[in-house]
Amino acid sequence: MDQMVPVQRFELAIAGMDCASCVSRVERSLARVAGVERVSVNLATETAHLEARAGTSLADLVAAVARAGYSASLRGPDTALRDGWAFWELVAGAGLCAPLLAGMVWAVPGWVELALAAVVQVWLGARFYVGAAAALRAGAGNMDLLVALGTSAAFGLSVVDFARGAGPLYFESGALVIVLVRLGKFLEARAKRQAAKAITGLRGLRPEAAHVPGRGDVALARLAVGDVIEIRPGERVPVDGVITAGLGSLDESHITGEGLAQPRGVGAGLLAGSLNLDAVLRVRVTSQAGESFLDRMARLIDSAQGSKPQMQVLADRVAAWFVPVVVLISAVTLGGWLLAGAPVGRAVIDAVSTLVIACPCALGLATPAAILAGTGAAARRGILIRNADVIEAATKVSLVVFDKTGTLTLGKPALARVQCLGDVPRDAVMEIAGALAASDTHKLSTALGVTHPLRAEMVKSLPGLGVTGRVAGHDYVLGSAALMARHGFVVPEAEGAATWSYLAAPDGGLLAGFAFADQIRPEAAAALARLRASGKKLMMLSGDREAAAQAAGRTLGIDNVAGGASPEAKIAAIRAAQAQGDIVAMVGDGVNDAAALAAADVGIAIGAAADVAIEAADISLLRADLQLVPDALALSRKTWNVLREGLFWAVIYNVIGIPAAAFGLLSPAVAGAAMAASSVCVLANALRLGRGKHKK
């Protein structure tokens, strides 16, 4: 029998990456470390996500990244401390280049140009030489190599011509390329941080300590489940918990996207990161440090932003060959101009322009920038997307399948009627049913509302059907008509739209029926109308009886309805639709929906869904608002469109720019500016995802 091998997960911050070829090199280097089973490197977040067998050494991973020419460390909180220094370097570079540009209009002594260009080349250009040397040691190329080769060629040619007393000089070309590329990287870094605010913002919501009565402020790592903490007005909730004393209003907008303050009293659950507005609350801790809903949410967003769709995998493979091919094209450009009889200076400058305009950065940033911005924008709206491939699948959805209870309805059924069907009195029936229901999580069980039930033993939950167990020495069955039929009981024909559950004893027959009433969510009709308007087909698969499901379907205008659907029946219906060519999204909230969520092309767990449903889902909606379903699909479509646009323009830019430079249509300075602008434009295009309501 195979044994499960424990898996370690690492998140490494990678410093020094500039382009997609850097990503490929880091991934290859890490993949060769013994024990590493999966690695994904994200250029936009400058992070490596790894899965490795237990015992894999962090030191080995860091050493592997160093051999590739980069540095690595365990990922910590993002910081912008380097921005100030980089800004002043750019200011100094612009000051040094100003006289060089003036030399294109007025006469500037050659030795002044040489001195200024040398400072730029050696000081501001040092990072390109370091990166190029590391790449060459690793047997590969990157953007640093292209810039180092191009600017060195322009500078070297100008030094030779200056020494010979010949002209013209091209000192301004190399210096401007360095400053412009540095400017592009500076703007690119700022845009990356803007796109990554979904994660940094979440991490900033949680305080570092909690007030424990009698102990003072205690670090979160020292809190234990069951501890009681105090949260004062204006403070954020540090960990998940349940209120034991107090009544107040909580702002949960940063977590669930719900704009209105939510009233919370004794017994209500609180989420870490919520803002306590107006009362002193005593809260019992229910989650360990690092395992709150906020922590899990941040990890899920982080994982999604670090994942790659298949399109990016292909782009990375192309990027791995990009630099060698560009160097070859530059050499052909140099040789072609020389063979055509052009002056050496002209041939070198056009070859330099070819090196400088080539931009693997945009190719490497197009996909992760879109994923980063799209998942961040979704998180701010209360939508969690599990990985990048989900975004592609969501754009192709043609059929949206809904569960009924708790999804299309409010999920808070109230007991409307009790019908005794045997000789057992009503009070005794309620006590027995309450005992079984107390051990079950189904909403109908909760709705029985028995305050002091008897104790049930040997309880077994049957997802989608009901529950069995022993009470006071007798076996009982509580659940749907389908469960009764399994045990050989014939239930009365139900009338109306109420949902019925039944209580029976294998040795005593059918004892009682319980009618429950539920309400359609107020936003359901509008959300379904938006889905229809976008061309989606709709279906309802409910575990409720057929008459109740059909009644809800008529109210909502859903024609394709199936009631009495077990978890297996839901899976079969989804697979049948997939076999007919539909791309299926399943929307549900309960344990009985988990299998269907996993079987669908896109599983969407809504609101306060069961943990197993959230784990099975591809998209989790953090508040019970059906309008988030069309929002999620629309935002996925927009993200995918931006991703494709980024890749398209990154490719077109190089397809047009490289030949234009090779044929002498672009100077090195213009080529450098265009190269820097390409990455910034890709990121700026992705940042559009953070704006708008995505209602279409």
Backbone angles phi, psi at 413, to 5 degrees: -65, 145
- Token representation of residue 644: 């494709």
Distance CA 630, CA 635 (A): 8
Cα dihedral sign, 114-119-120-126:
positive
Q: Residue 17: how many CB atoms within 10 A of its CB?
A: 26
Residue 276 φ then ψ, to 5°: -80, 120
Is the distance from CB of 618 to CB of 650 less than 8 angstroms?
no
Three-state DSSP at 108 gives coil
Residue 24 C-alpha from the chain's centroid: 21
Contact 64, 30 (CB under 8 A): yes
Strand partners, 665: none
Closest to 70 (Cα-Cα) out of 36, 123, 24, 32? 24
Task: Give 225's contacts (C-beta < 8 A, 6+ positions apart).
Answer: 285, 286, 287, 288
CA 258 to chain centre: 19
Segment (H or E) for 311: helix 310-339
Assigned token pair, 5:
């091998």
Contact, 26 vs 350, CB < 8 A?
A: no
Query: Residues 671, 357: contact at Cβ < 8 Å?
Result: yes
- Cite the DSSP H helix spans in 68-142: 81-102, 110-119, 126-137
CA 474, CA 505: separation in Å to the nearest integer?
Answer: 8
Closest CA to 672 of 334, 363, 359: 359
Give the C-alpha distances (Å, rounded to integers) separating 147 from 420, 658, 668.
84, 14, 10
Residues in CB range of 306: below 8 A, 6 or more apart = 11, 40, 42, 45, 47, 49
Helix (H, G, I), strand (E, B) or coil at 576: helix
* Residues forming a β-bridge with 587: 402, 604
Judge whether 351 and 156 are in contact, CB under 8 Å.
Answer: no
From the list 471, 481, 486, the residue with the least C-alpha distance to 421 is 481
Instruction: Give the active site residue among 403, 589, 601, 631.
Output: 403
Terminal C-alpha separation, the chain: 52
Q: For residues 326 and 219, what is the distance between their CA atoms, to the nearest angstrom?
A: 54
CA angle 359, 363, 367 (to 5 degrees): 155
Which strand (E) or helix (H) includes residue 73?
A: strand 71-74
Question: Is 559 annotated in the active site?
Answer: no
Name the nearest CA neighbour of 158 among 692, 674, 668, 603. 668
Q: DSSP of 440-502, one letter per residue?
A: ---HHHHHT--SSPPPEEEEEEETTTEEEEEETTEEEEEE-HHHHHHTT--PPPP-SS-EEEE
- Catalytic (active-site) positions: 403
